[in-house]
Amino acid sequence: MNTGITRIISELQAGRLRAALDVTHPEPLPGGHPLFTCPGVIISPHMSKNAPGTAERCYQVAIQQIRTFLDGGEPSNIERRR
């Protein structure tokens, strides 16, 4: 296990940190992984797209961003790479 996750687990176990995790490495976490026993941790199954209404909300955002772009504006969710 790398030192970054080891430090996070240490902070979680000490109660100095809480976490809600949707993405982990590796994914899925293997059985017996220390994150499963840390207090103050919520681990979701990385399936949020399957929540009811998610697809409709995603389409509405995409439509709005495309309209903004076609009208000469800059979409609000654009990411600038440096």
Give the number of C-alpha atoms closer than 13 A to the C-alpha of residue 55, restricted to the C-beta side: 2
Q: What is the mean pLDDT of residues 14-43?
A: 90
Please name the residue that has the structure tokens 């609000």.
76
pTM summary value: 0.55
Q: Report pLDDT for 48.
A: 62
Q: Report pLDDT for 27.
A: 83
Separation between Cα atoms, residue 15 and residue 51, nearest integer Å: 30
Separation between Cα atoms, residue 9 and residue 15, nearest integer Å: 10
Report residue 25: phi and psi, to 5°.
Answer: -135, 120
pLDDT in tens, 6-25: 999 999 999 999 999 888 88
66 or 47: which leads in pLDDT: 66
